[in-house]
Amino acid sequence: MDISIEKLNANNYSTWKEDVKVVLMEKGSWRIITEEEKVPDKLSGIEGEEERTYQKLLKDYNLRKDRAYSVIYLSSEKEYRLLIAGIEDPVKAWKILEEHFRPDSRARAIGLTDEFFSCRVCPDEDIGIYAARLKHISAQLADCDKPIKDWYHAFQLIRYLPPEYAGIVHAIYRWKDEDFKADKVLSELLAEEARLKQSNKDQEVLACQAKINSSRPLKVITRKIPSGNHDQVELSSKVKGRQRKNQKNPFVFPKTTKYKFGD
């Protein structure tokens, strides 16, 4: 398997360490680095098939050990290769780089603690990515023998969330102490994130549909009247017009002249 990772430099030791660990696990060499696997012991007096089996195990071990060193060496920038050049022991090379980039000091532990409690959700960052950053810092503190308690981890997960998470945060506040665990808090936040994303998506669809509907021209329905009916309608209109005219100017009878008989 051809695996490409970013070479070790002055700023990426944390990520480089995790990447190289995965590569060494894929090559079956990581347990050699952690010293969980030692060089095979040779029993005295073995011969024949047992001797051949031992030589085969020893050859396999040395092959994986050499691969481990080559991965560590070739995945480092040239300036840092000088720190481990000529050692050829992957365990020693790993420890030398670790001591160079991660000195065991109180200042480093304090810096990581400050980084943990200052960690915030970046704009448009997924909750899962934010949680992974917190977990990575927590792992580094554990390496310094200053592990972060789970209670503080759960607290930091909900500490700097955007306003739209206020509802779920208030609900989490009412949990029992035994339920306030980082893993459970993260599960609730991921579910809420999925709900919010779906809600926003639905609103966008509705807004888009409303915009499309508003831009459509109104249809004017016209109906052609047959010629015969047209004359009837025209005649009817004239009659109605006369009726309206008569209503406006009613007929007034002329005044009668009174005559006296006998005149």
Cβ pair 168, 127 in contact under 8 A: no
Q: Own/partner pairs for 156-160, CB < 8 Å, 24+ apart?
A: 156/116, 156/117, 156/119, 157/130, 157/131, 157/182, 157/185, 157/186, 157/189, 158/185, 158/189, 160/119, 160/120, 160/121
Q: Give the range among 52-56, 195-199, 213-217, 241-245 with minimum mean pLDDT.
A: 241-245
Say how far residue 210 (Cα) sits from the centre of its chain. 29
Q: Which of 74, 97, 84 is nearest to 2 (CA)?
A: 74
Range with lowest mean pLDDT among 94-103, 201-210, 222-231: 222-231
23-26's contacts with Cβ under 8 Å and 24+ in sequence apart are 23/71, 23/75, 24/68, 24/71, 26/1
Can you tell me the distance from the alpha carbon of 66 to that of 64, in angstroms, rounded to the nearest whole number? 5
What's the whole-model pTM score? 0.55
Beta partners for residue 8, in sequence order: 76
42-49: average pLDDT: 70
Residues whose CB falls within 8 Å of the CB of residue 21, separated by 6 or more in sequence, listed in order: 30, 33
- pLDDT single digits (tens) 184-201: 999 999 999 999 999 888
User: What angle is formed at CA 166 by the lines to CA 165 and CA 171, rounded to 5 degrees?
Assistant: 100
What percent of the chain clears pLDDT 70, i.e. is strictly above it?
79
In eight-state DSSP terms, residue 175 is S
pLDDT number for residue 46: 67
Alpha carbons 175 and 179: distance in angstroms, whole number = 6
- As a whole number of angstroms, the distance between CA 198 and CA 104 comes to 46
* pLDDT, greater one: 75 or 52: 75
